Structure 1
């Protein structure tokens, strides 16, 4: 039986998951943070709470910052490149995605870039960009002054702006590039693949030591095309399906028992980045 306590929490769950996921780049960690927030919520005298949403946002944000700091230490020993966990956004609600700015904070490209931010910078950036909180409220949530929150947001934006401009694509042109990528990959046409890539394209593979993956990024259009066709050429059957991941078209690649989620970073009609995640802990949910 659903209680009023459950109802009050559940109506805010998409926002809370959205905050946790954007801050951590891991849906599993976001779920853990939201579960911890529920435990704290259950211990609160709700009759004294004037704004439940603000309280829950505060709890999740602070829990996520604590977890971010632990995650950064763990990622120092991660095997190969670390990439954010892809999420099927046609199945999961992760807070607002009504504006281009909100959708951008959910993209795998932006989540990858946000790894370069400190925990406070990332928290401020997410709360401001994705959830449009005023600096005064962000300051209250994170124990900062409004001026400090504004400064952290400005600093985070400056650290991300140049690279974010490299994948500012609209969903339509992005989907067109995904479809062309699928066709070239299925036929093993290296030249057709290479034509899709910006000259300075980068490919990252995340196996986490659990699956075969390159331990360093692959750079340059020719090398990326050779890498991809080399992998595909080892298999007689290629199962490549388009799905929605983090608000944009992406792909599930199945080669025998080998599975991965592939997402593209695109801009100006070209692919600027390729994220290939095969770590089974990260793609299990996306493959359901």
Structure 2
């Protein structure tokens, strides 16, 4: 392959990875899809590719759709233990974040909700909301009609909106303050304060430190507060599982504030928060090692501030 063709692909790599991540919810799977796209770009008769950007977008999108439709992916995602892979703020795979729609489309909450969409609905929604493709362009990428593209986007928006009660987008300073208060209440045992910091329709989900056979889900403020209090209560068994006494940092993950537990510069778990109207609307606890690989890589290159709690 000539240098110009490689450069052309590399110029698109980050955008393709961001698209693939939104479609798959997994950085590792997104990287595989981008690499497979490169292999196809190598083998293509590029003299007949009039619009390389469009060609690459179509290939990576359809590779992701093949993955979403595969028996293995359906089993993994239907088994009840799947959560999206968290990414540290600044990761290029998070992609465009200029508009509210772009930021929301990569939030852990929306990535989880998109699991309920059909593959075509998910692709049309991501291409439209996060990358501002026209319905004509989406139709060309997915080999459907413009009318079908409009229907897919409409259904996807309706299904996502049905699961989300939007308030005003929290500014970073306010969101961090709420999470700091929440963490202080969780580690001090002030369950009543935890309840007060949760929205009436708050939800929580956890992979049970990566050990649960199914995701743990909680829907009432009282149950969430009890779950959080138990989860943040240190015990010798938890410290053995973590490999030591973690420092608890607050950082941005997928655009939202998160508590990141770190032992000897190794991330052992994260709890991501969605803040709405000055309260916590949802929490996602992720500690499965295979879901923290890229976050760990980024953390080791990151210069974190002082931890919120030095040793949990």
TM-score normalized with structure 1 length: 0.90
- Residue among 252, 259, 283 paired with 2:292: 283
Note the C-alpha offset of 1:231. Answer: 2.4
Deviations 1:173-232 (A, max 9, x none): 322222222322343332222221123322111258x43587431221111111111122
Partner of 1:10: 10
Counterparts in 2 of 1:77-92, with a 5 A limit?
77=79, 80-92=80-92
Extract structure 1 runs of 4+ deviating beyond 6 A: 255-258
Deviations 1:245-280 (A, max 9, x none): 112221212589992111112212221211001111
The separation in 2 between residues aligned to 1:72 and 1:104, in whole angstroms, is 24
Q: Report whether the alignment pairs 1:261 with 2:270.
A: yes
Partner of 1:193: 194
Q: Which runs of 5+ in 2 are unaligned?
A: 237-244, 298-312
Q: Residue 5 of structure 1: SS of its match in structure 2?
A: helix
Structure 1 residues 49 and 252: alpha-carbon distance in aligned structure 2, compared to 1, 3 A threshold: same
The separation in 2 between residues aligned to 1:105 and 1:215, in whole angstroms, is 22
Q: Which runs of 5+ in 1 are unaligned?
A: none
Kept after mapping to 2: 8 A contact 1:167/1:265:
no
The separation in 2 between residues aligned to 1:6 and 1:207, in whole angstroms, is 43
Counterparts in 2 of 1:73-152, with a 5 A limit?
73-77=75-79, 80-152=80-152
Kept after mapping to 2: 8 A contact 1:136/1:146:
yes
Structure 1 residues 252 and 123: alpha-carbon distance in aligned structure 2, compared to 1, 3 A threshold: same
Kept after mapping to 1: 8 A contact 2:9/2:38:
yes
The separation in 1 between residues aligned to 2:229 and 2:263, in whole angstroms, is 13
The separation in 1 between residues aligned to 2:257 and 2:216, in whole angstroms, is 25
Q: Residue 216 of structure 2: SS of its match in structure 1?
A: coil
Structure 1 residues 168 and 159: alpha-carbon distance in aligned structure 2, compared to 1, 3 A threshold: farther
Note the C-alpha offset of 1:34. Answer: 0.4
Deviations 1:231-252 (A, max 9, x none): 2223375521112211222121
Q: CA RMSD in A?
A: 2.4
Note the C-alpha offset of 1:15. Answer: 1.1
The separation in 1 between residues aligned to 2:186 and 2:165, in whole angstroms, is 27
Deviates more, 1:241-250 or 1:169-178: 169-178
Q: Residue 132 of structure 2: SS of its match in structure 1?
A: coil
Q: Residue 17 of structure 2: SS of its match in structure 1?
A: helix
Deviations 1:101-135 (A, max 9, x none): 11111111111111110000000000000010010
Kept after mapping to 2: 8 A contact 1:18/1:95:
yes
Deviates more, 1:236-245 or 1:43-52: 236-245
TM-score normalized with structure 2 length: 0.84
Partner of 1:184: 185
Note the C-alpha offset of 1:82. Answer: 2.1
The separation in 1 between residues aligned to 2:213 and 2:250, in whole angstroms, is 21
Deviates more, 1:58-67 or 1:194-203: 194-203
Q: Report whether the alignment pairs 1:239 with 2:241.
A: no
Structure 1 residues 128 and 7: alpha-carbon distance in aligned structure 2, compared to 1, 3 A threshold: same
The separation in 1 between residues aligned to 2:49 and 2:215, in whole angstroms, is 49
